[in-house]
């Protein structure tokens, strides 16, 4: 082989290597192009101006379908009232899911800006407007690279993340059948724009709610001996509930019990008949969660009886289903670290400590073999913290949108090609699941 042939062979090999390790950054460059960026920002702002609460995301869903139509992406609708499931790729296995939530919150926006919410008392204060824009961005990138997709990417736009169990309903209505792995992300003000963050294992807690009615016998506040005071009983119940964490839980197994609601009485001189208390409990394992549930009920009923009151406890599961903990699959974490390092550079892939907040993405763990949740940084200045999610002052740094779009697209694209490689290494490509 002469020198020039050798040289051209080397250049060819080098170009393949270069492409395979930097393919993901090309996706980011695409998402950052000004026309692409303007399109995503436009979607996010339109959604921000027109927030809709859980299971009412009709206009949001319409906007998404219009965008999918214009990209030529097929989808199923409606699923779980307003949900949409789109498909990009071969239409055959393997299947990988990408999920965005669509709902807003019952909050009056306090930020004065050009695209402020036009709906009184409703606001995208958790960034779900950005999540939709990022998933549509990923869809656009993936559709442009349709021929490279070695399987099918399933786009999941779900309603009612904020306590309405939208993910569970999507699953019940068949949205994730045959999906092998699913990725979800949330915008995060505590990390700088250009970074992504996550961790293997537990990342967000399981969550439940409770409400108890403690009943005594009302009467004159100056003649307590003729009453059975439920205010005293409820107060003791609340103090006793605090001991579940401080005395019964393993200090190394993070848990929370918070009484956030106390309603009873309306006059200075009347002891009421009953008091209603309510709150939430959190844990990172099913065992700890179920133990808390059992003990909350026992403590409320038995402690109330010490003061001669009756108590009933309702865990409100019909309206507020228990959220399981969000647990990241360790091999998907390795996948995330590799893909994200290609996009943002290894130093910009951060460790996210677990938090006691809950996320209904966790429901997918019951229905999909492997789940993974990560965060997309949006802070512009590490000294300036963004207002926390669910604040009326919550804002989004739109410069984060391309990072979410490119991460999603690249996680799915690379997952499918690796899945295919792993199967062919084992010589059983045909054993993949059936078509959807």
**Residue set of the binding site for Mn(2+):** 126, 128, 162, 186, 390
Minimal distance, residue 130 CB to Zn ion, in Å: 10
Residues belonging to the binding site are 126, 128, 162, 186, 390
Minimal distance, residue 163 CB to Zn ion, in Å: 9
Counting Cβ atoms within 10 Å, is residue 427 exposed (0-12), middle (13-18) or buried (19+)? exposed
Minimal distance, residue 161 CB to Zn ion, in Å: 6
306 phi, psi to nearest 5 deg:
-60, -35
Minimal distance, residue 372 CB to Zn ion, in Å: 16
Query: Which residues are 312's β-sheet partners?
Result: 213
- Which pairing describes strands 179-192 and 95-101: parallel, antiparallel, or unpaired? parallel
Which one, 126 or 141, has the nearer CB to Zn ion? 126
Which one, 219 or 387, has the nearer CB to Zn ion? 387
Closest alpha carbon to 173 in 73, 98, 94, 77: 77
8 Å CB contact between 281 and 292: yes
As separate numbers, helices (DSSP H) first and strands (DSSP E) second, the chain gives 9, 16
Which one, 126 or 292, has the nearer CB to Zn ion? 126
287 conformational bin, left if phi > 0, alpha if psi -120 to 50, beta if neither: alpha
Minimal distance, residue 322 CB to Zn ion, in Å: 17
Give the footprint of Zn ion on this chain (CB under 5 A). Answer: 126
Q: Where are the beta strands (DSSP E) in 69-143?
A: 74-79, 83-89, 95-101
Which one, 109 or 229, has the nearer CB to Zn ion? 109
Which one, 47 or 126, has the nearer CB to Zn ion? 126
73/146 Cα distance (integer angstroms): 10
Minimal distance, residue 167 CB to Zn ion, in Å: 12
Which one, 126 or 167, has the nearer CB to Zn ion? 126
C-alpha distances in Å from residue 9, one per residue of 4, 22, 415: 8, 20, 29
Which residue's C-beta sits nearest to Zn ion? 126
């Amino acid at each position: 082989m002469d020198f020039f042939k050798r040289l051209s062979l080397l250049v060819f090999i080098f170009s393949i290597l270069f492409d395979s390790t930097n393919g993901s950054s090309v996706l980011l460059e695409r998402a950052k192009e000004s026309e692409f960026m303007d399109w995503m920002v436009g979607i996010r702002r339109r959604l921000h101006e027109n927030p809709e609460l859980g299971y009412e995301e009709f206009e949001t869903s319409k906007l998404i379908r219009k965008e999918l139509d214009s990209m030529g992406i097929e989808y199923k609708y409606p699923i779980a009232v307003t949900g949409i499931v789109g498909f990009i790729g071969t239409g055959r296995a393997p299947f990988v899911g990408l999920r965005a939530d669509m709902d807003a919150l019952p909050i009056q926006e306090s930020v004065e800006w050009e695209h402020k919410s036009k709906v009184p008392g409703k606001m995208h204060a958790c960034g779900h407007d950005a999540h939709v824009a990022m998933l549509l961005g990923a869809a656009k990138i993936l559709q442009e690279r349709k021929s490279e997709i070695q399987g099918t990417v399933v786009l999941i736009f779900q309603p009612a993340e904020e306590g309405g169990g939208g993910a569970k309903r999507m699953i019940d209505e068949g949205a994730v059948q045959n999906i092998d792995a699913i990725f979800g992300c949330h915008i995060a003000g505590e990390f700088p724009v250009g970074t992504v963050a996550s961790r293997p294992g537990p990342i967000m807690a399981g969550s439940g709610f409770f409400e108890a009615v403690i009943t005594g016998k009302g009467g004159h506040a100056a003649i307590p001996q003729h009453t059975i005071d439920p205010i005293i009983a409820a107060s003791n119940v609340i103090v006793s509930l605090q001991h579940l964490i401080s005395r019964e839980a393993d200090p190394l197994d993070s848990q929370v019990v918070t009484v956030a609601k106390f309603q009873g009485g309306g006059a200075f001189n009347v002891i009421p008949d009953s008091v209603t208390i309510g709150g939430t409990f959190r844990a990172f394992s099913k065992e700890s969660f179920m133990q808390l549930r059992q003990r909350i009920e026992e403590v409320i009923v038995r402690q109330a009886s010490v003061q001669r009151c009756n108590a009933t406890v309702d865990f409100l599961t019909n309206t507020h289903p228990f959220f399981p903990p969000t647990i990241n699959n360790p091999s998907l974490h390795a996948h995330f670290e590799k893909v994200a390092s290609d996009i943002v550079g290894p130093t910009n892939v951060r460790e996210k400590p677990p938090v006691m907040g809950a996320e209904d993405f966790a429901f997918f763990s019951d229905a999909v073999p492997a789940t993974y949740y990560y965060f997309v940084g949006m802070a512009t200045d590490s000294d300036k913290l963004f207002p926390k999610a669910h604040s009326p002052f919550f804002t989004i740094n739109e410069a984060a949108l391309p990072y979410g779009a490119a991460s999603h697209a690249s996680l799915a694209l690379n997952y499918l090609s690796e899945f295919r490689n792993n199967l062919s290494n084992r010589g059983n490509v045909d054993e993949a699941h059936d078509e959807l």
